[in-house]
């Protein structure tokens, strides 16, 4: 089971995006986007930490979905070339 998961991770075509830097970029960009969302809603709610945390938590799923769609589109575009 572990070897299949590891093999699937290593053969993922998304890892070749941006010259192989895609996993590194992903680990930096997604948290930064979530922090920016948190800061934006912190300002909009007037500093209410609980409301800001809840609202920001609702954005975790959509951020990952958008990132996944962008990666899929880039892989499809790369494969078609």
At 56-81, the pLDDT tens digits run: 999 999 999 998 898 888 888 878 87
Residue 19: which domain range? Answer: 2-80
pTM exceeding 0.75:
no
Give the Cα separation of 57 and 36 in Å (integer). 13
36-63 residue pLDDT tens: 999 999 999 999 999 999 999 999 999 9
Q: How many domains does the chain contain in total? A: 1
* Phi/psi of residue 37, nearest 5 degrees: -60, -45
Long-range Cβ pairs for the range 19-27 (8 Å, 24+): 22/71, 26/67
């Amino acid at each position: 089971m572990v070897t299949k998961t590891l093999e699937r991770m290593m053969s993922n075509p998304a890892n070749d995006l941006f010259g192989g830097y895609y996993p590194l970029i992903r680990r930096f960009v997604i948290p930064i986007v979530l922090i920016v969302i948190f800061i934006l809603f912190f300002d909009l709610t007037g500093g209410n930490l609980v409301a800001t945390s809840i609202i920001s938590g609702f954005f975790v799923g959509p951020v990952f979905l958008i990132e996944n769609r962008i990666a899929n589109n880039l892989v499809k575009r790369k494969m078609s070339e």
